[in-house]
Structure 1
């Protein structure tokens, strides 16, 4: 349920009305946005939750780091430098000559 706050009039004659969403079981609500009423008309400015945006960014980075680590463990991008691979590479180089 949306709850509209008390109108606040600034010195320039602009009226601001806050809008919040009521919390569950009467708990604290979350800010939804702000209505700005002036001589030009009414504008709606949505509230932005910076904490949630930051959390999504951090989680995205964590998942990307986990996937890249998994890819490196399964098959690293550098050449296979085991003894058997080095011997096979030397033998194939001899055959090409």
Structure 2
């Protein structure tokens, strides 16, 4: 349910009305936006939750880091250094001389 705040008039004659969404079971509400009423008309300015945007960015970074770690653990970027590979490399170096 939307809750409209008390109108507030600024020194320039603009009337501001806040709009919030009522919280669950009477809990604190969440800001939705602001109506600005001037001589030219009415404008709506939505509220932006910076905390939520930051949380999404941090979670995206953690997911990217986890996927990159899993990719490196599954198949490391360096070549296979098994005993057989090292022996084959040494023999091929002997034949090139």
Q: CA RMSD in A?
A: 1.8
The 5 Å alignment of 1:1-97 reads 1-91=1-91
**TM-score, normalising length: structure 2:** 0.89
How far does the alpha carbon of each residue in 1:30-70 deviate from its partner, in whole angstroms, 9 at most, with x for none? 00000011112111111111111111111110010000000
Instruction: Point out where structure 2 has 5 or more consecutive residues left out of the alignment.
Output: none
**Structure 1 segments of 4 or more deviating over 6 A?**
93-97
Partner Cα distance (2:38, 2:2) in 1? 22
Secondary structure at the aligned position of 1:33 is classed as strand
Instruction: Point out where structure 1 has 5 or more consecutive residues left out of the alignment.
Output: none
